[in-house]
Structure 1
Amino acid sequence: MGLFNLFRGQFIDVIEYPNENPAVLVHRFERFNNEIKYGAKLIVRPGQAAVFVNEGKIADKFGPGTYTLETKNLPILTTLLSLPYNFNSPFKAEVYFIRTTEQLDRKWGTATPVMMRDADFGIVRLRARGNYAYKVSLRDELLTRFVGAQADFTGDAIEGQMKTKVVSACSDALGELKIPALDLAANYTEIGDRVRANLEPDFAALGFELLSFTVESISLPDEVNQAMDKRSSLGALGGVMDQYTRMQAADAMRAAADNPGGAGNMTGMFVGANLGGAINASVQPPQQAPQAVPPPLPAAPAYFAAINGASTGPYTQEQLKAAVLAGQVKADTLVWAQGMSGWQAAGTVPALAPVFAAMPPPLP
């Protein structure tokens, strides 16, 4: 009885892989030196595929289900082994169980920045990350190129090479699409579709099927982000800055008129006017210089005024006229400019006298 069990134990009558490890993509059935019994049961569970290999040559393949191993179910293996029809002798062959379920949420990212030429910012360095999903195809490339005689083949053994191809395909897609850096966030779907199209042949050559590819984020360098923030700020202020500076200048002049006789108020009015002009000039778009440049205009005289016993200025002629109209400078206020022999009353200066002549006399 013991001798009968010894011979019986050499023949395998059930082939299955019940304890499937999620990390294992390909598992070789532990046959050792035992032979597979003719008429044995092959059990392939959902999410699995079974492949028979004889002396390195891939033979018959089976999807999920339960099979009785006979010559009609093993046509290729029968030909390779030259087994007669309705044979009853056992046979030897390697059996591999392949995990065909989807491998979801596989992370990818650029270990080093990807260089891209941008029309607005020149050469920029991008970092990108996302995820992808794949599964093992029933083509022969995986078994012949990578598995070989290994008992178990895991996803970690191949995903490093996958991620390298992902980064390369992402760089190619960004170069082909030529999307400006300012518009990258609005085109993640288009970028992902292009990368997937570039990657599918590479994955197929490895024996895998790429199911999905997603771009989660593309980050720009800090200096580019700062430039984008400044540009958006100027764009938001450009429409209202001119009105704002005009209002500030008008408020300064009104405050000076309400407090006559103060040198500080007069100076504040002039500073407000100058500040408004400077800010207006800063927000105006740069203009090209004309082809023919006229000679410079003669310099306007700079006036100094004696207010409250102190010399203030310099002020332009237009600023003094505005001060006269505001009541800050009177006809007897002493003024001086380059070329004058000394201080003299503002009403006697030829350039300012017409302003006083046009003013009405004081009320009785």
Structure 2
Amino acid sequence: MDIFNEIKKKLSHEFIDIIEWLDNTNDTIVHRFERYQNEIKNNAQLIVREGQTAVFINEGQLADIFKPGTYTLNTKNLPVLTTLKGWKYGFDSPFKAEVYFVNTHLFTDEKWGTKNPIMLSDERFGLVEIRAFGTYSFRINDPGKFVVDVVGTDGNFTNFEINEHLKSLVVTRFTDTVGEANLPIELYAANTSELSETCREVMQPEFGRVGIELEKFYIENVSMPEELKKEIFEYSRLDKLDMTKLAQFKAAKAMEAAAKNEGGTAGAGMGMGMGFVLAQQMGNMMNPQAAQQPFGGQQPQAIAPPQVPTQVMYFYATSGQQMGPVSFEKLKELFAARTINRDSLVWKQGMANWTALKEVEELKSFLGGNTPPPLPTA
């Protein structure tokens, strides 16, 4: 009898289950531990490695969850399953449960991109189209929720399966975010870091609903049609350029093209004439002062028109406040209207200090008509 018990004990020890999962792939997220009829013996050994979580499912219901470590499966270590099974006094026979190993390490360098152009409205360029692509990284932070809500009964759930769902979610939320950002179209490419962080914050609640944490989200590039790029570049240049000089440059280029297209002797003569005009135009652009004299100042000075005199502008003080600048004529009108008087302080460019109007040489002419003559006597 004792020999039989020893043999029975030895056999039961040799056949204690060991439940574990060695991941030989780089893309498996959830693996179901296969057992014949899902039976697990009492006191079976459960080994959960780093980067894994074991999830027990009983008849479709979430039961116990095990973090990394080694466990002996009995009523003490299976509190939820014990309650679901109604084991009040323990059990000796095998029990049925599904065991899912969830890979909780960080999945990196996942690609995303817009399959179709995104339509945006810009104040200067109207409706425009952009495309974008980048990468993101995620991990499973709630294995129980993920298994119940996403995996279901799938025995080998891979990265490819979840990524199809995640990519659609990313593109949808990215489209909403860039639409609400309302940035000028040319600033999207220059603000990818800020826009990436904003998108991650917007997307995280959506990922969290199924037990996923969005660790990083990157926008690597925002592209647009070549025609729109040219318009943006042209607009940025025009915003910086002197429009008068730009018009002169355009005219010079047009004349140069016309000169090249003319043929024969007449064309050669016209081309030479155009060349002289072009040289003058370019010289005027580089040296505005020389532009006042035909052919860079080679003609006699007598035929050059004199420079337009610069109008002198004055500042004046009234009620302790600085006013102006105003022209000589306007200042005269103010004096006639008695807004200012002979003692009012005035200043113009070249004067060291504010000076009373009556002491400024060219303004003394105001004083002659400021005091009316005496009334005639009867």
TM-score (norm 2): 0.62
Aligned partner of 1:15 among 1, 19, 28: 19
Report the CA distance between 1:132 and its aligned residue. Answer: 0.4
Which residue identity lines up with residue 84 of structure 1 in the other structure?
K
SS at match of 2:96: coil
Change (3 A) 1:266 1:215: closer
Aligned partner of 1:147 among 125, 144, 151: 151
Report the CA distance between 1:33 and its aligned residue. Answer: 2.2
Q: Does structure 1 conserve the Cα–Cα contact (< 8 Å) formed by 2:16 and 2:45?
A: no
Report the CA distance between 1:115 and its aligned residue. Answer: 0.7
SS at match of 2:92: coil
Which residue in the other structure is 2:119 paired with? Answer: 115
Aligned partner of 1:224 among 219, 223, 228: 228
* 1:30 aligned onto 2:34: yes
* 1:186 aligned onto 2:165: no
Residues 315-347 of structure 1, C-alpha deviations (whole Å, 9 max, x = no match): xxx99xx9985899xxxxxxxxxxxxxxxxxxx
Which residue in the other structure is 1:69 paired with? Answer: 73
Which residue identity lines up with residue 85 of structure 1 in the other structure?
Y
Change (3 A) 1:200 1:272: closer
* 1:58 aligned onto 2:23: no
Which residue in the other structure is 2:107 paired with? Answer: 103
Q: Distance in 2 between matches of 1:81 and 1:137?
A: 27
Q: Aligned residues: percent identity?
A: 40
Change (3 A) 1:269 1:68: closer
* 1:169 aligned onto 2:173: yes
Change (3 A) 1:83 1:268: closer
Q: Does structure 1 conserve the Cα–Cα contact (< 8 Å) formed by 2:56 and 2:65?
A: yes
Change (3 A) 1:178 1:97: same
Which residue identity lines up with residue 73 of structure 1 in the other structure?
N
Change (3 A) 1:9 1:120: farther
Report the CA distance between 1:201 and its aligned residue. Answer: 1.8
Which residue in the other structure is 2:372 paired with? Answer: none
Change (3 A) 1:139 1:325: same
* 1:47 aligned onto 2:51: yes
Q: Distance in 1 between matches of 2:24 and 2:148?
A: 22
SS at match of 1:38: coil
Q: Which runs of no fewer than 5 residues in structure 2 stay unpaired?
A: 253-268, 287-292, 304-378
Q: Distance in 1 between matches of 2:113 and 2:83?
A: 48
Aligned partner of 2:88 among 80, 84, 88: 84
Which residue identity lines up with residue 187 of structure 1 in the other structure?
N
Change (3 A) 1:68 1:271: same
Which residue identity lines up with residue 220 of structure 1 in the other structure?
M
Report the CA distance between 1:122 and its aligned residue. Answer: 1.3
Report the CA distance between 1:84 and its aligned residue. Answer: 2.8
Question: Which stretch has the larger CA shift, 78-87 or 141-150?
Answer: 141-150
Report the CA distance between 1:232 and its aligned residue. Answer: 4.0
Q: Which runs of no fewer than 5 residues in structure 1 stay unpaired?
A: 249-262, 281-317, 329-364
Which residue in the other structure is 2:319 paired with? Answer: none
Q: Distance in 1 between matches of 2:274 and 2:93?
A: 111
Question: Which stretch has the larger CA shift, 70-79 or 268-277?
Answer: 268-277
Which residue identity lines up with residue 114 of structure 1 in the other structure?
I
Q: Does structure 1 conserve the Cα–Cα contact (< 8 Å) formed by 2:46 and 2:71?
A: yes
Give the aligned length: 270
Q: Distance in 2 between matches of 1:185 and 1:166?
A: 18
Change (3 A) 1:86 1:219: same
Q: Distance in 2 between matches of 1:184 and 1:80?
A: 54
Residues 127-175 of structure 1, C-alpha deviations (whole Å, 9 max, x = no match): 1011001112325332223322221111111211111111111111111
Which residue in the other structure is 2:328 paired with? Answer: none
Q: Distance in 2 between matches of 1:276 and 1:174?
A: 44
Aligned partner of 2:204 among 200, 206, 213: 200
Please, what is the CA RMSD of the aligned residues? 3.9
Q: Distance in 1 between matches of 2:275 and 2:47?
A: 94
Q: Distance in 1 between matches of 2:225 and 2:284?
A: 32
SS at match of 1:17: coil
Residues 240-283 of structure 1, C-alpha deviations (whole Å, 9 max, x = no match): 948x98xx9xxxxxxxxxxxxxx999966994599579989xxx
Q: Distance in 2 between matches of 1:109 and 1:41?
A: 44
Q: Distance in 1 between matches of 2:72 and 2:299?
A: 113
Q: Distance in 1 between matches of 2:129 and 2:87?
A: 63
Which residue in the other structure is 2:162 paired with? Answer: 158
Q: Does structure 1 conserve the Cα–Cα contact (< 8 Å) formed by 2:64 and 2:78?
A: yes
Q: Distance in 2 between matches of 1:168 and 1:270?
A: 60
Q: Does structure 2 conserve the Cα–Cα contact (< 8 Å) formed by 1:266 and 1:323?
A: no
Q: By percentage of residues, which structure has more helix?
A: 2
SS at match of 2:115: coil
Aligned partner of 1:214 among 218, 224, 241: 218
Q: Does structure 2 conserve the Cα–Cα contact (< 8 Å) formed by 1:11 and 1:90?
A: no
Q: Does structure 2 conserve the Cα–Cα contact (< 8 Å) formed by 1:114 and 1:171?
A: yes
Report the CA distance between 1:70 and its aligned residue. Answer: 2.1
Q: Distance in 1 between matches of 2:134 and 2:39?
A: 47
Report the CA distance between 1:57 and its aligned residue. Answer: 0.6
Q: Does structure 1 conserve the Cα–Cα contact (< 8 Å) formed by 2:136 and 2:216?
A: yes
SS at match of 2:43: strand
